[in-house]
Every structure is written in structure tokens, then in C-alpha cells.
Chain A
């Protein structure tokens, strides 16, 4: 069965600093991987996804993630944090093209300090 771990339930960075949110997964087959962002009192919005092909994936708002099969990781990065990036971030893994197979990580809350 697939699973997702996100190291750090809360990460704080200064405005302009590098953002690094960690995600590790386990999967018995080549996975599909996703990052979602949730702003306060909102639903989840897709940031980026990896299905096949290029392992470095670029998403919205300047975020990107790299799929590393050998490390079973899909860490999310952004070179320079904005105050508007403060939100909760969820990593998700799926072993198929069906939503009921999605498994979400517990989430990481990102705070951006002025």
C-alpha cells in the first residue's frame, strides 16, 4: 500500500529565503505524485504534479519539485518565499489514475516571517 510522510508539520522561513518542504513516499509501482496548497478556510489547490517524463516539475507561483526515485522523495522548493506563500501544503501519491487511490500526507504548515 502506498503512503506519504511529510517531515515537519510546521516550517518557518523568512521572506526572501529558500522554501523547502519535504515529502517521502512509498509505492509498489511507479507513482503519480502531487503537491497541493491550502490557504486558510479554503479548499486544496493543485500546485504541481509528476506523472511521467521530466523529473523536475514546475508548478504555479514559482514552486517546483523533483522526483527522486532512488530516495523515494518529491520535495517542494521555491527560491524566494513571499508572504503570500503562507499556507498548508499537502503531498499526495497515487498508484493509478483514479482519485480513490490518492493518499495524502499529513500536511506542512508554512509560515513566512517578515
Chain B
């Protein structure tokens, strides 16, 4: 079965510090992968998606970047965090035909920038 892991679950970082959130998927190969952000009291915003190794599409220009160094690994990064980067970050993958043609989410990472 397919599973998704995301870490760390929570982190508090000072303004100007770097960021790395990691996500891995098991039980599937070459999945479409996604990073979403959920700001307090707001809906979901798609930040990046990837259809394969090294292929990243950015939906919103911002202080963040994403990378996909391996087939089932997706990383969200920043060189210098801003206060506005605080929020709940969700990694997700596309289940495809065998996975019900829907999106599956990790448990999320709470980022607080202070």
C-alpha cells in the first residue's frame, strides 16, 4: 500500500534562517508530488508540484524552493525565512488510477518563524 511520510512535524525557526522540510512516499513509483501551504484560517495554496526527478513547477513566486532528488523524495527549502513563511505545510502525492485518482496528504509540518 502507498504511504507518505513528512518531517519534521513542528519547527520554530528565526527570521533569516534556512528551512528544509522533507517528504517521502512509499509503495508507488514516479508519483506526482505536491507541496501545499495552509496559512492560519485560510485554505490550501499549491506551492510546487513535480512530475518526475528534477522536474519542479512553481505555482506561486515566493521565498521558497523545492527539489526532487529521488523518485519518491520531495524537499521544500528556503535560504532565508521570512515571518510570512509561517504556516502549515503539507506534502501530497497523486494516487493515480490505482490509487483512486485523488490526492493523498502527509500529516503536515507546522512552521513558526519568529
Contacts and interface: CB of A to CB of B under 8 A. Distances in A.
Interface of A: 32, 34, 36, 41-46, 49, 51, 90, 92, 97-100, 102, 104-107
A61 to B, nearest CB: 17
Q: How big is chain B's contact interface, by range? A: 20 to 34
A97 to B, nearest CB: 5
Chain A interface, DSSP helix/strand/loop, else mixed:
mixed
The 6 A-B residue pairs whose C-beta atoms are closest, nearest first, are A43-B105, A99-B94, A106-B43, A104-B44, A44-B105, A43-B107
A100 B107 contact: no
A99 B105 contact: no
Contacts of A90: 43-44
A41 B110 contact: yes
A93 to B, nearest CB: 12
Contact of B102 (A49, A104, A105, A107): A49
A77 to B, nearest CB: 20
Nearest to A100: B49
B108 A41 contact: yes
A46 B43 contact: no
18 contacts: A36-B105, A42-B108, A43-B6, A43-B92, A43-B108, A46-B100, A46-B102, A49-B101, A49-B102, A97-B97, A97-B101, A98-B32, A99-B93, A100-B32, A100-B49, A104-B43, A106-B42, A107-B43
Interface string B86-110: 0000101110010011111111101
Chain B interface, DSSP helix/strand/loop, else mixed:
strand
Nearest to B46: A100
B63 interface: no
Contact of B34 (A36, A41, A100, A106): A100
A102 B95 CA distance: 13
Contacts of A104: 43-44
Interface centre among A44, A99, A104 (most CB of B within 10 A): A99
Nearest to B59: A100
A43 B49 contact: no
Contact of A99 (B90, B92, B97, B107): B92
